Amino acid sequence: MTTTINDTEALVASVKDADLQRIGIKVLSDERISFDDGVILFERGSLAYLGALANYVREKKHGDKTYFNRNFHIEPTNVCVFSCKFCSYSRLYAHKEEGWELSIDQMLDIVKSYDGKPVTEVHIVGGVHPKMTLSFFLDLLKAIKAHRPELHIKGFTPVELDYMFKKAKVSIEEGMKLAHEAGLDSLPGGGAEIFHPEVRKEICEDKVDAEGWLHIHKVAHDLGMHSNATMLYGHIESFAHRIDHMDRLRKLQDETGGFNTFIPLKFRNKDNDMSHIEESTTIEDMKVYAVARLYLDNFPHIKAYWPMLGRKNAQLTLSFGVNDIDGTIDDTTKIYSMAGSEEQSPTMNTEQLISLIKQVKRQPVERDTLYNEINVF
Ligand code: V47
Ligand code: SF4
């Protein structure tokens, strides 16, 4: 453990700002912090203070355990009918010859390339291609399950689901039931960006709105599925927009309990329509992780996506509330390398991931998608 309860108590007792002290006392006594408290933490909390509080919560919930899983990605297409300004990856349908589209057989070949390897999850996510319909994806899900029934399929954001359900003229409830029956086990966290309409209007006007995103996750939770949630930060959003985003998630989680993990995603500015915006500093990144750990008291896990942050910064997050590092993946994930992430070739084998975690004196634990422990190292 990197901090003791007494260290944190002493720090809270010594802080000069009365609001920060009041919020610190709430955290130490397991009391929920308010919307305004969240904004104050961003505005006035020092990195050291936020880190100590977030690490206190992290260690109370998980000790030194740091989870990872063995997964791989399939990106069916980067052709997309939408035009999110931050996206470096998609190609509009009008320029579809510049993008890629995989057939069911090609995607099944990717799955087969992992035969005999100890992966537990496939993460399927991509652009929104007008010709890739609900029935195409139901066939894909069934084909993967027929080939490897125990492989957990985490796939499709509400952006993709909303579009395919509307096109197939089925309700969200019907569509989700069909996808679940065909083999979809859980939903990844993408497409959330920043929920507040003031920001959404500027950066991703044409895709599913906050209410639509949250409703699809609720329907998934009601079917017994779990899901993740992300937040794309570090562009035009204010501190209040970030807290509003987390607040909407906290409220839904109070209702359903279906979220596993919150994943802050740092905006990267290479080759997109928001390239003029400077990227956030590492200090700001760590504050986002810490405030997320403090605000989302009902989320079991906070995850750092290392291909985006880089390995060293991912290590640092483990002292700022994070208890999960995304799995070992191959270099098939293009959404980040195309946006200028630290890791141009994001591959790390299990041994490397384990030593990355051990180097910062945390305990690596391999998990499955639902956080059942597979191996403790
Ligand atoms: O929604 C797109 C983000 C997300 C950029 O659930 C960008 O386990 C930064 O959600 N800079 C998709 N981010 C990926 C995603 C995800 C990743 C890892 C794990 C999980 C999980 C989910 O990627 C999009 C968007 O927010 N994104 N462009 C960019 N320029
Ligand atoms: Fe399409 Fe997703 Fe890129 Fe938006 S972020 S343009 S929905 S691929």
For the stretch 67-92, pLDDT in tens is 999 999 999 999 999 999 999 877 77
pLDDT class of 1 with cuts at 50, 70, 90: low
Whether the CB of 87 sits within 6 Å of ligand 2? yes
**CATH 3.20.20.70: which residues of the chain?**
65-376
| Residue 334 pLDDT > 60 | no
Dist CA 227 CA 215 (whole Å): 12
Place of tokens 């939770």: 221
Dist CA 249 CA 334 (whole Å): 27
User: How far, in Å, from the CA of 265 to the mean position of ligand 1?
Assistant: 6
Task: Output the CA angle 196-47-272, nearest 5 degrees.
Answer: 45
Name the residue of 75, 79, 84 whose CB sits within 8 Å of the most ligand 2 atoms, as the mutation to test its pocket: 84
Which atom of ligand 1 has the smallest separation from the CA of 87? 28
Name the residue of 85, 265, 343 whose CB sits within 8 Å of the most ligand 1 atoms, as the mutation to test its pocket: 265
Does the pTM surpass 0.85? The reply is yes
Residue 350: what pLDDT? Answer: 85
| Residue 218 pLDDT > 80 | yes
Dist CA 360 CA 327 (whole Å): 18
Considering every ligand atom shown, identify the ligand nearest to the alpha carbon of residue 88 and give its number.
Answer: 1
For residue 357, report the phi and psi dihedrals to the nearest 5 degrees: -75, -40
Considering every ligand atom shown, identify the ligand nearest to the alpha carbon of residue 272 and give its number.
Answer: 1
pLDDT class of 95 with cuts at 50, 70, 90: confident
Residue 331: what pLDDT? Answer: 44
Name the residue of 79, 87, 124, 230 whose CB sits within 8 Å of the most ligand 2 atoms, as the mutation to test its pocket: 87
Considering every ligand atom shown, identify the ligand nearest to the alpha carbon of residue 83 and give its number.
Answer: 2
Whether the CB of 86 sits within 6 Å of ligand 1? yes
| Residue 309 pLDDT > 60 | yes
Q: Is the dihedral of CA 295, 284, 237, 24 positive or negative?
A: positive
Whether the CB of 80 sits within 6 Å of ligand 2? yes
Q: Tell me the CATH number for domain 65-376.
A: 3.20.20.70
Whether the CB of 89 sits within 6 Å of ligand 2? yes
Whether the CB of 274 sits within 6 Å of ligand 2? no
User: What value does the mean pLDDT take over residues 355-367?
Assistant: 96
Dist CA 124 CA 98 (whole Å): 21
Q: Is the dihedral of CA 61, 66, 70, 71 positive or negative?
A: positive
For the stretch 25-53, pLDDT in tens is 999 999 999 999 999 999 999 999 999 99
* Ligand 1, atom 7, residue with closest C-alpha: 267
Considering every ligand atom shown, identify the ligand nearest to the alpha carbon of residue 92 and give its number.
Answer: 2
User: How far, in Å, from the CA of 328 to the mean position of ligand 2?
Assistant: 24
Q: Which helix (H) or strand (E) holds 203?
A: helix 197-203
Place of tokens 């807290």: 243
**Residue % of the chain over a pLDDT of 70:** 93
What is the number of H-type helices and E-type strands within the chain? 16, 13
* Ligand 1, atom 9, residue with closest C-alpha: 267
User: How far, in Å, from the CA of 10 to the mean position of ligand 1?
Assistant: 38
Whether the CB of 84 sits within 6 Å of ligand 2? yes
Considering every ligand atom shown, identify the ligand nearest to the alpha carbon of residue 73 and give its number.
Answer: 1
Whether the CB of 189 sits within 6 Å of ligand 1? yes
Q: Helix %, strand %, coil % for the chain, to 5?
A: 45, 15, 40
Residue 75: what pLDDT? Answer: 94
User: How far, in Å, from the CA of 127 to the mean position of ligand 2?
Assistant: 5
pLDDT class of 348 with cuts at 50, 70, 90: confident
Residue 310: what pLDDT? Answer: 87
* Ligand 2, atom 7, residue with closest C-alpha: 82
- For residue 366, the SS3 value is strand
Name the residue of 199, 230, 231 whose CB sits within 8 Å of the most ligand 1 atoms, as the mutation to test its pocket: 230
pLDDT class of 338 with cuts at 50, 70, 90: low
Strand partners, 265: 232
The better pLDDT of the pair 185, 4 is held by 185
pLDDT class of 342 with cuts at 50, 70, 90: low
User: What value does the mean pLDDT take over residues 12-27?
Assistant: 96
Lowest mean pLDDT, pick from 127-131, 166-170, 291-295, 306-310: 306-310
For the stretch 255-292, pLDDT in tens is 999 999 999 999 999 989 999 999 999 999 999 999 99
Strand partners, 65: 363
